[in-house]
Amino acid sequence: MSVTNTKASSVDKIIATLLKNRGINTKKEKEEFFNPSDPNKIDSKEFGVDEKELTKAVMRIKKAIEKKEKIIVWGDYDVDGICATAILWETLHFGQASSLPYIPSRFNEGYGLNEESIKKLKDENENLGLIITVDHGITAHEKIKFAKKLGIDIIVVDHHEPLKAKLPAAAVVHTQEISGSGVAWVLARELGKSQNIPTDHIGLAALGTVADVLPLVGHNRSIVVYGLRELRKSNRPGLVSLCSEAAINQRELGTYHIGYVVGPRLNSMGRVEHAMDSLRLICTRSPGRATELASKIGKTNKVRQEKTQFALGHVNESYGSGWSNGSLPKLIFVHHESYEEGVIGIVAGKLVDQYHRPSIVASRGEEVSKASARSISGVNIVDTIRKAGGKMLVSVGGHPMAAGFTVKTKDIEALSKKLSDIASREITDKMVVRSTRVDCELSLSEVSDELYAEIVKFAPFGFGNPEPAFKTDRVKVEEARLVGKDNDHLKMVLSSSAVFPAIAFGMGEVYPKLKQDALVNLVYSIKQNEWNGRRKLELGIKDIKLSD
């Protein structure tokens, strides 16, 4: 006589549903998801990189080293660009190349290559023969031509959306399947093979991948799984000091910490001052210098937060009342001279979170205005901007979900109207309705340690691989209280077929509606809370509504 374990059977069915929801259907796909390939064993072509171009890049770098040419690794001022710069510059440095890292000032030089800075670098380094762009350069046709006139070859290492015209570069190491730091890692790995240089940069590639919000599936998942292992045990003084300053247990570093704590800190320097200090923090071998830089970056991050809140407050005060009265556009485009260029991308992201619309925020200048855009699923924002902008745009680049551009200030209203017209035609009502994603419905009695143990195997969570979310209706509120410094979080005890504690971050406004014994419908994730050495499950509330 056979005995069926109903708890195990329930867990198996739930896990099967989670896999199906993530498009994981075959035994091979399941094996690869739960046991991702070691990135070091993945061929470059599997990442989408053209191997001929990769070989050309390696040969040109070797030639530069042999001829003792100065090599500049020219990065970007966001986390992905900083990590890409660190990966490639360290590889060249350990390989005895005459090389320097270079990150432009967001405020004085702008994004990517610029002719004035190229000329200045050539004047300062007469034997400068090679510039390697990392995390940018794929659309810099004219800047590459200018560099060639000065006798400088350019190798482009990028993952952004290219234009149709062929680049006049010495080599183009490009794929849109992985992050900019991921592409830099592929080149560094290849260079390391031919130069016999050890490369241990997969952790930095993971840091850039998560911070740049790449989908955590396929090869990106491999990079992040293996990279997190390295980051958690890394002895890099900069990473150790950064985790200490942010009160993070480095051994438990995860995608949440990168996305919401570590990433914003590293980004803050480029948004407020200069990103070179973030690069110095990543690369320094001095614990004392690392402590000093981590402290500076922590303080700068607080300034960045204040500037962001000021701009967001101005947007909501200036436009919010009209939007709340039913005139919320399909695409938000706001601009003002007080919006600081360094924070407009964050403000755009927060507007997307708040209103679930593609959002563009511009820092308006006298001659030109610089703008940053963030999008929602289904709206390719960089294509939309290019379609609307045409000759009005001075420059534009980015991804389907995030972009940046410069427009002549005299054309900003015309561009706004064109964007609005396109949005009204192409963005449907359904696309701008926010919905809370749910994997499946559960009874609370199905929430168990066994289920949690299986859910943990789906990590790391992030874009493309969201944390599993469950729905349970008509749950009784046994207890509810406000917690947090500003009483903006909600702590509860909930019951139906079982009893669980729950935490609802940022949902304090629901508290007045929750009378004792009220029935609510929930969407939640399953967490494990540790207190005084004891671990217990709790529900992380994603959405809560009173039952009818």
Give the model confidence (pLDDT) of 291-336 as tens digits: 999 999 999 999 999 999 999 999 999 988 778 767 899 999 999 9
Q: Which domains does the chain have, with CATH numbers?
A: 40-199 (3.90.1640.30), 328-432 (3.10.310.30), 440-546 (2.40.50.460)
Largest distance between two CA atoms of the chain: 86
Give the model confidence (pLDDT) of 112-127 as tens digits: 999 999 999 999 999 9
Query: pLDDT 10s per residue in the chain (548 long)?
Result: 333 344 557 899 999 999 999 999 999 999 999 999 999 999 999 999 999 999 999 999 999 999 999 999 999 999 999 999 999 999 999 888 999 999 999 999 988 999 999 999 999 999 999 999 999 999 999 999 999 999 999 999 999 989 888 999 999 999 999 999 999 999 999 998 866 666 679 999 999 999 999 999 999 999 999 999 999 999 999 999 999 999 999 999 999 999 999 999 999 999 999 999 999 999 999 999 999 999 999 999 999 999 999 999 999 999 887 787 678 999 999 999 999 999 999 999 999 999 999 999 999 999 999 999 999 989 999 999 999 998 999 999 888 889 999 999 999 999 999 999 999 999 999 999 988 899 999 999 999 999 999 999 999 999 889 999 999 999 999 999 999 888 889 999 999 999 999 999 989 999 998 887 899 999 999 999 887 778 899 999 999 999 97
Specify the pairing of strand 393-398 against strand 470-483. Answer: unpaired
d(CA 514, CA 427): 36
CA 136 to each of CA 82, 133, 451: distance values in angstroms, whole numbers, following the listed order: 12, 6, 43
Residues with Cβ within 8 Å of 227's Cβ and at least 6 positions away in sequence, in order, are 202, 203, 204, 205, 206, 207, 209
Residues with Cβ within 8 Å of 368's Cβ and at least 6 positions away in sequence, in order, are 394, 406, 407, 408, 409
